[in-house]
Structure 1
Amino acid sequence: MMSCFVTGTDTGVGKTLSSCALLHALAEYHARVVGMKPVASGAEADGQGGWANEDSLALRAASTLRVDPAWDNPVLLPDPVSPHIAAQRANVRVTLAPILAAYGELRRQADAIVVEGAGGWQVPLSPDLRISDLAMALQLPVVLVVGLRLGCINHALLTADAIRASGLPLAGWIASRIDPGMREPEANMAYLRQHMGAPLLADIAWQARPDARTVSVQLPREWQ
């Protein structure tokens, strides 16, 4: 069974698009592929009398395995703000136990799981719990989504160093071209390719209407 954890250099850098692209790529080698959004902030009506997060809905659409929403999104918070604030507003304390239990259920059914974090590597989930703590509890290889814009080199290298310092492997990184007006994007890409110390899995062009099916992903051989 293959699993990975997707994090980003910041919020809004294309983690969900990247996670969906990974799911489509994995589905070429594994029959039962599922995405997981352990903690999601921001809920909308799902059209079936319930509530869902738009990231979770995108991951479900890209998955080949249908599961109970309590498993692929165990913590759904109403307000679209930082998770620790959304949890406080909802009078909820985010803890690891229910998330790990939900992940265990997915492991029993899936051949491959893509777990998408919230925001960046150090985003707080509660006063004493961060995204990095969740990734370490899951003990999964990490894929870092780098939003290409001014300042991305600093953000990417700091995050990559933090991931390695946690003891988790940085399995690869994805370039997400979120700023079509960015100056010198290729020079930035060249520096990142040289210094990230991990393979580039995908280079996602800017899209007015993002479509994960158009993204070419080079999966690590051991994930195939």
Structure 2
Amino acid sequence: MKKRFFVTGTNTDAGKTYVTVGLLKAAQRAGLRSLGLKPIAAGAQWIDGKLRNDDALRIQAASSVILPYEQVNPVVLEEAIAPHIAAAHEGRLITASRLQGFIQGALLSPNDFALVEGAGGWRVPLNDREMLSDIAKSLNFPIILVIDMRLGCLNHAILTAEAIAADGLSIAGWIANTGQDKMPCFDENVATLSSMFLAPLLAVLPWSSDEKDAEPLFDALFKAL
């Protein structure tokens, strides 16, 4: 049975890519065909004459299903700003239907475990009418919510969970991602969120600069999904 999830976060740099890459590698270790997609990314560098986003490159490298970069990250924007503004600066129009078509095409590749990673938080505009959450709604995948555990995270997390529920989607679980500087009253904040969310706490990820250190945690996280 295929497992597919949409990965979102409470904000930019919440740790979505860290979680996506960790889960894709865990799926590989479990012997599954893993596939990660980053449909839209803002913030890229020119490499050999082509724009490339670092998060998308990491997701591509972590996937056992090999796809061209253009399928992993079909819409890449140079400026590291809100995607709809970056697109306007480049004279481009991003639509939900176009992104959905890219995603569905890539998911035709044989896979057992697929993750589609969003950009920024849940309510990120694509244009003046549509948001990235419209893509998640059309896919109808369970949501993995990555919470950036820092001051202000309670408000961000609760509002994000409410928005996901309002869109008719289910949260498969949430992840408490510890920053390099652990927030004050960390355990109390995790306990507060646990008491307020119906969705399960899948993992508390400690800060680590070594991916190998995190492998057991991601293996356990993968099994919990």
TM-score of the superposed pair, with normalisation by structure 2: 0.90
Correspondence 1:121-132 to 2 at 5 A = 121-132=122-133
Aligned AA (2:174): W
Shift of 1:25: 2.3
Secondary structure in 1 matching 2:29: coil
**Where does structure 1 differ by over 4 angstroms across 4 or more consecutive aligned residues?**
none
Contact 1:21 1:212 in 2 (8 A): no
Correspondence 1:165-180 to 2 at 5 A = 165-180=166-181
Q: Report sequence identity in percent.
A: 38
Secondary structure in 1 matching 2:203: strand
Aligned to 1:108: 108
Q: Which deviations, in whole Å up to 9, do the C-alpha atoms of 1:35-77 show, x marking residues without a partner?
A: 111110011133x442210110111121111102221111111
Counterparts of 1:141 and 1:19, CA distance in 2: 14
Aligned to 2:140: 139
Query: Between Structure 1 and Structure 2, how many residues are aligned?
Result: 220
Aligned to 2:61: 61
Does residue 201 (structure 1) correspond to residue 202 (structure 2)? The answer is yes
Counterparts of 2:210 and 2:58, CA distance in 1: 11
Counterparts of 1:31 and 1:75, CA distance in 2: 27
Counterparts of 1:100 and 1:50, CA distance in 2: 23
Aligned to 1:18: 19
Q: Which runs of 5+ in 1 are unaligned?
A: none
Shift of 1:157: 1.1
Contact 1:12 1:119 in 2 (8 A): yes
Shift of 1:181: 4.2
Contact 1:53 1:76 in 2 (8 A): yes
Secondary structure in 2 matching 1:120: coil
Counterparts of 1:178 and 1:142, CA distance in 2: 22
Secondary structure in 1 matching 2:114: strand
Contact 1:30 1:112 in 2 (8 A): no
Aligned to 2:152: 151
Structure 1 stretch displaced more, 114-123 or 170-179: 170-179
Shift of 1:213: 6.6
Aligned to 2:87: 87
Aligned to 1:219: 222
Counterparts of 1:182 and 1:152, CA distance in 2: 10
Distance 1:117 1:31, change over 3 A: same
For the aligned residues, what is the CA RMSD? Answer: 1.8
Shift of 1:31: 2.8
Contact 1:17 1:210 in 2 (8 A): no
TM-score of the superposed pair, with normalisation by structure 1: 0.91
Q: Which runs of 5+ in 2 are unaligned?
A: none
Contact 2:96 2:131 in 1 (8 A): no
Shift of 1:179: 4.9
Structure 1 stretch displaced more, 210-219 or 24-33: 210-219
Shift of 1:194: 1.9
Aligned to 1:77: 77
Correspondence 1:31-42 to 2 at 5 A = 31-42=32-43
Aligned AA (2:167): S
